[in-house]
Amino acid sequence: MDLFGSFALLLAFVCALYAIGAGIVAIRTRNPLLIKSARQSGLAVCGLVMAASASLAYLFFTDNFSSAYVAAHSNRDLPPFYKIAAFWSGQEGSLLFWSLLLSVYVFSVLFAYRAKHPELMPYVGVVLAGVQLFFLTLNNFVANPFQILGAASPGGAMQYTRLADGAGLNPLLQYPEMVIHPPNLYSGYTGFTIPFAFALAALLARYPGEKWIHLTRKWTMIAWAFQSAGILLGAHWAYAVLGWGGYWAWDPVENASLMPWLTGTAFLHSVMMQEKRGMMKVWNVWLVFSTFLLCILGTFLTRSGVVSSVHAFAQSSIGPWFVGFIIVVLTVCTWAFLMNRDYLRSNNHLDSMVSRESSFLFNNLILLVACVAVLSGTLFPVLSEWIEGTKISVGPPFFNRVNIPIGLFLLFLTGVGPLLAWRKTSLESLKRNFGGPLVCALAAGLLAFPLGLRDFYPLVCLILCVFVTVTILLEFFRGARVIRARTGSDILSAAGQLTLRNTRRYGGYVVHFGMVLIFIGLMGAAFNRDKQMEMALGSALDIGPYRLILQSFDTRPEKNYTAERAILEVMEDNRQIMMLFPERRFFQANQESGTMVAIHSTLKQDLYVVYAGRTQDKQTPVIHAYLNPLVKWIWLGGAIVVLGTILALLPSRQAVLALRPAARVVPAAVTPQTVMTGVSNYEGHD
Amino acid sequence: MKTKAKFTVGVAIIVVSLVALAVLGARDSKTYYHTIAELPTLQGTALHQRIRVGGTVQSGSIERAQGRIDFTLLGEGKSLKVSYVGTDPLPDTFKDDSQALVEGHTTPNGRFVAEKVQAKCASKYEATPGQSAPKGSDYSNKKS
């Protein structure tokens, strides 16, 4: 199977190469047959990479320890479920996984638009094949997952060596999230290749209008949803597995996933400026270029060991390839931009400070500043070594100082932006739209202050969260009231209908609401508490409303590991509410240990208990307990963000209006924005 | 053009205040990288900076005492005695012969007081696993 996989990869490489070559010739000669052949070659890459991936999976599931990659990342007793995670647990496999997901995206795009946009698609095909070629080069020649373990026999010929068992999977990765988090994050990373390819192709082809934006909206949103889910799943994994009580540490790997998300978010918003007002064309093109480059940079950062975190130890030969690729992409993008920049001239200018346009501009500015801050903080050791000659790193205080106010300002814009009119907003409509929410928000702040919420940032965060929530609810309510007046249905089903009629707009609100929940959860971190204690049998640890009593501790052998666990009774107000079993697992295959945190999660707070080991002298268990308020809201908000994105991807049901001709829109009851979006309701699918 | 001017002022205010915050934040959390061999040569203000040092944990040197954990880091033929005084439990990957990064301050008697320890198991897993997989090795760091 390793040979089969190797050949499939090699053939995929050849096909990608052909897709580029034939594609370029086809663009020059406009030969329809050649265009078709280049496209089909691009489609074939997908099948071949799939075949290669299937054969690597086969090697894992058949415990083929003559394969170097399998031997290094799996062992016989590893549960099948985690053999899936083992696929992408190492460099070679994760790069193959990159190629696999990318090829699925490329296949979908090439296939979906096979008979459309004949002016644009050949260019798109070439750009996509170019990106694929880079990763296939790595798969084939730099980090091949199909290397076999061999040794020279006495006769000089190479022979297979088959190990009795593999080295096993890193214990930290033996957790359910590691099976779903990487595919999500990778789908995000790879997915941004599609809007990138369309933007570059449109620029190269001087494709008229905003067509590429309509075409890529869906794809960008899919990538964005995956990226969001991937980041949050990763945070949840860090929270549940690493046992330090937090979910985000501003580690370079985390930052690497956040940066393209920030620019991607900026892009999703600023394209609306181009769609509706023909503005910010240059900006959009560069935003999508940067997003793609940040995806590649993220992969590079975590691979090359250029940034000192724990990576300082891990040097790998793959770094220069990524630097080279980034330089090539940057050069091509700059060249394409310089050659065709007249094509990106803006149609309109900013009319007023208080307008939808300016709220988008600020949104973009602030997201970009956040991205630059995260980037410079991540690269600080590299930059300072260049400039000052000494390596200096910055820690979480740096990132928090900058990003907390940015986050709050964004939250403010989330509430304000969607309700501002295009071009210019009148004072009258400001009062009408924001009077209620503002009163509610300030009331909430006044209520929370005496209850003990005195810190500046959490207080501001609460006020803004209430403000945004009320504006969103009012939007739904206003729209639903109009529908109810027409159809007589109750307000909730009217709100449902409303959403389905303009999924893009109301799906967007749902996403915003999800973000509000995430902010509430993040705010909880300001009130985290923790306590560590050596616990004798029967002793108690008090934290917040909870009392933990150590009942016993034991050692329990499992198939793949031995678990040492503490058995803790949890009391709240002198009532027993549950038992918690924090563990330390010791994995025989690789002689490593891992922590299994026990979490009692409620909407109000998480009780997070770590079994930190035993003291050396007396062998008493050490328990570290954390009380983290509101963490659950983050995961809840994440789910709603993804749900909202899916909603916004659904086509709007405009037909309902046609079915009820009597139900004409009553202009007086509709806010100016509704008219605006109603008029220019691009759905971006065609 | 008046709008444009207003907008420029708005942008400038935002950018300047954020840069100021960034500078303050950087000053608070700047950590200087040094090697074990460099530490004894540090002088003046450099002695009071937050410092990060990497090395291999000497086999058998880990001693748990009340309120702190002592161990010795080896690197470039030199050794460094470290006392970890942080509250977080040490990472699972921290053990004999693992590679560790410690963050903290030097003391006049030469002992390094660390508030933060990151560790990576020496060789089991080749370099950096995947983008997300690397979390396996990378994330074994602890919050300070």
Q: Please, which pLDDT band fits residue A161 given cuts at 50, 70 and 90?
A: confident
Angle at A119 between CA A117 and CA A125, to 5 degrees: 80
Residues B32, A381: Cα–Cα separation, whole Å: 9
Q: For chain B, report the end-to-end CA distance as a whole number of angstroms.
A: 49
Residue B143 is nearest to which of A93, A249, A590, comparing CB atoms? A249
Helix (H), strand (E) at residue A571: strand A561-572
Residue A402 is nearest to which of B21, B118, B134, comparing CB atoms? B21
Please give the average per-residue pLDDT across A152-163, as a whole number: 73
Q: Do A170 and B10 touch (CB under 8 A)?
A: no
- Find where tokens 């996509």 sit: A128
The pLDDT of residue A663: 42
Residues A628, A624: Cα–Cα separation, whole Å: 13
**DSSP letter at A67?**
B
Residue B61's CB: how many other CB atoms inside 10 A? 15
Tokens coding A682: 């691009």
Instruction: State the average pLDDT for chain B.
Output: 75
**Residue bearing the bigger pLDDT, B129 or A414:** A414
Please determine, for residue A655, whether its predicted confidence score (pLDDT) is greater than 60. no
Residues A20, B117: Cα–Cα separation, whole Å: 48
Q: Which residues of B touch A244 (CB under 8 A)?
A: 88-89, 142-143
**Residue bearing the bigger pLDDT, A347 or A506:** A506
Using DSSP's 3-state secondary structure scheme, residue A319 falls into: helix
Q: Do B139 and A381 touch (CB under 8 A)?
A: no
Instruction: State the average pLDDT for chain A.
Output: 87
Residues 6 or more apart whose CB falls under 8 angstroms from that of A203 comprise: A285, A336, A337, A340, A343, A344
User: What are the domain boundaries of chain A?
Assistant: 527-633
Residues A199, A521: Cα–Cα separation, whole Å: 36
Q: Do A369 and B30 touch (CB under 8 A)?
A: no
Q: Which residues of B touch A398 (CB under 8 A)?
A: 22, 25-26, 28-29
Q: Is there a contact between A653 and A500 (Cβ–Cβ < 8 Å)?
A: yes
Residues A560, A86: Cα–Cα separation, whole Å: 15
The pLDDT of residue A414: 93
Model confidence pLDDT, tens digit, residues A62-85: 999 989 999 988 989 899 999 999
Residues A206, A241: Cα–Cα separation, whole Å: 50
Residues B98, B120: Cα–Cα separation, whole Å: 6
Residues 6 or more apart whose CB falls under 8 angstroms from that of A166 comprise: A63, A65, A70, A71, A72, A73, A74, A75, A76, A78, A589
Please determine, for residue B8, whether its predicted confidence score (pLDDT) is greater than 90. no
Q: How distant, in Å, are the alpha carbons of A175, A244, A261, A462 from that of A399?
A: 28, 19, 16, 21
Tokens coding A26: 């086809």
Establish how many alpha carbons lie within 13 A of residue A632's alpha carbon, considering only the half-sphere containing its beta carbon. 11
**DSSP letter at A141?**
I
Residues A411, A465: Cα–Cα separation, whole Å: 7
**Residue bearing the bigger pLDDT, A459 or A211:** A459
Residues 6 or more apart whose CB falls under 8 angstroms from that of A421 comprise: A355, A356, A429, A672, A673, A676
Angle at A24 between CA A20 and CA A29, to 5 degrees: 145
Residue A311 is nearest to which of B64, B89, B128, comparing CB atoms? B128
Tokens coding A25: 């010739």
Residue A75's CB: how many other CB atoms inside 10 A? 23
**Residue bearing the bigger pLDDT, A156 or A114:** A114
Using DSSP's 3-state secondary structure scheme, residue A526 falls into: helix
What's chain A's Rg over C-alpha atoms? 28
Residue B130 is nearest to which of A93, A390, A401, comparing CB atoms? A93
Please give the average per-residue pLDDT across B92-97, as a whole number: 79
**DSSP letter at A148?**
B
Please give the average per-residue pLDDT across B10-31, as a whole number: 86
Please determine, for residue A549, whether its predicted confidence score (pLDDT) is greater than 90. yes
- Find where tokens 């959403």 sit: A499
β-partners of residue B82 are B71, B112
Question: How much of chain A exceeds pLDDT 90, in percent?
Answer: 51
Q: Do A594 and B92 touch (CB under 8 A)?
A: yes
Residues B52, A512: Cα–Cα separation, whole Å: 40
Q: Please, which pLDDT band fits residue B76 given cuts at 50, 70 and 90?
A: confident
**Residue bearing the bigger pLDDT, A491 or B138:** A491
Nearest CA in chain B to A594: B92
Report the length, in residues, of chain A. Answer: 686
Q: Is there a contact between A492 and A476 (Cβ–Cβ < 8 Å)?
A: no
Please determine, for residue A669, whether its predicted confidence score (pLDDT) is greater than 60. no
Beta strand B78-84 pairing with B63-65: unpaired
Please give the average per-residue pLDDT across A291-299, as a whole number: 92
**What does the buried/exposed string (b/e) look like for A506-541 if buried means 16 or more CB atoms within 10 Å of the residue's CB?**
bbbbbbbbbbbbbbbbbbbbbbbebebbebeeeeeb
Q: Which residues of A touch B14 (CB under 8 A)?
A: 362, 365-366, 369, 409
Tokens coding A606: 């998480």
Please determine, for residue A544, whether its predicted confidence score (pLDDT) is greater than 80. yes
Please determine, for residue B121, whether its predicted confidence score (pLDDT) is greater than 60. no
Residues B90, B66: Cα–Cα separation, whole Å: 14
Q: Do B139 and A251 touch (CB under 8 A)?
A: yes
Q: How distant, in Å, are the alpha carbons of A168, A228, A515, A619 from that of A642?
A: 34, 8, 10, 46
Q: Please, which pLDDT band fits residue A307 given cuts at 50, 70 and 90?
A: low
Instruction: Suggest the residue from A401, A530, A595 to mutate for an interface test with chain B (most B CBs closer than 10 A).
Output: A401
Q: Which of A635, A569, A633 is nearest to A604 (CA)?
A: A633
Residue A447's CB: how many other CB atoms inside 10 A? 12
The pLDDT of residue A286: 93
β-partners of residue A150 are A160
Please give the average per-residue pLDDT across A102-108, as a whole number: 96
Model confidence pLDDT, tens digit, residues A359-394: 888 999 999 999 999 999 988 888 888 888 788 888
**Residue bearing the bigger pLDDT, A465 or A274:** A465
Using DSSP's 3-state secondary structure scheme, residue A171 falls into: helix
Q: Please, which pLDDT band fits residue A196 given cuts at 50, 70 and 90?
A: very high
Residues A143, A147: Cα–Cα separation, whole Å: 9
Q: Which of A16-20, A34-38, A72-76 has the lowest mean pLDDT?
A: A72-76
Residues A217, A626: Cα–Cα separation, whole Å: 42
- Provide the strand spans (E) within A348-410: 392-393
Helix (H), strand (E) at residue B60: none
Q: Do A94 and B132 touch (CB under 8 A)?
A: yes
The pLDDT of residue A427: 81
Q: Do B92 and A593 touch (CB under 8 A)?
A: yes
Q: Do B135 and A373 touch (CB under 8 A)?
A: no
The pLDDT of residue A621: 87
The pLDDT of residue B78: 85
Q: Is there a contact between A42 and A78 (Cβ–Cβ < 8 Å)?
A: no
- The sign of the dihedral angle between the CA atoms of A384, A389, A393, A397 is negative
Residue A559's CB: how many other CB atoms inside 10 A? 9
The pLDDT of residue A304: 62
Q: Is there a contact between A635 and A236 (Cβ–Cβ < 8 Å)?
A: yes
Residues A35, A22: Cα–Cα separation, whole Å: 7
The pLDDT of residue A348: 77
Residue A401 is nearest to which of B11, B21, B136, comparing CB atoms? B21
Helix axes A211-241, A631-649, angle to 10 degrees: 160
Residue A243 is nearest to which of B33, B64, B89, comparing CB atoms? B89
Please give the average per-residue pLDDT across B16-24, as a whole number: 88
Beta strand B78-84 pairing with A392-393: unpaired
The pLDDT of residue A653: 78
Residue B30 is nearest to which of A365, A392, A612, comparing CB atoms? A392
Query: How far apart are the CA of A330 and the nearest CA of chain B, in angstroms?
Result: 22
Q: Is there a contact between A300 and A379 (Cβ–Cβ < 8 Å)?
A: no
Residues A485, A663: Cα–Cα separation, whole Å: 9
- Find where tokens 């000497």 sit: B58
Residues A363, A283: Cα–Cα separation, whole Å: 13
Q: Do B92 and A230 touch (CB under 8 A)?
A: no
The pLDDT of residue B30: 84
Q: Which of A25-29, A37-41, A675-679, B57-61 has the lowest mean pLDDT?
A: A675-679
Report the length, in residues, of chain B. Answer: 144
**DSSP letter at A565?**
E
Tokens coding A507: 């799906």
Residues B50, A310: Cα–Cα separation, whole Å: 18
Using DSSP's 3-state secondary structure scheme, residue A170 falls into: coil
Nearest CA in chain B to A355: B3
Q: Which of B110, B104, B96, B97 is nearest to B142 (CA)?
A: B104
Q: Is there a contact between A181 and A87 (Cβ–Cβ < 8 Å)?
A: no
Query: How far apart are the CA of A258 and the nearest CA of chain B, in angstroms?
Result: 13
Residues A659, A528: Cα–Cα separation, whole Å: 55
Residue A659's CB: how many other CB atoms inside 10 A? 7
Beta strand A540-543 pairing with A546-557: antiparallel
Query: How far apart are the CA of A496 and the nearest CA of chain B, in angstroms?
Result: 38
Q: Quick check: B123 contacting A, CB < 8 Å?
A: no
Q: Do A251 and B143 touch (CB under 8 A)?
A: no
Q: Quick check: B137 contacting A, CB < 8 Å?
A: yes
The pLDDT of residue B86: 81
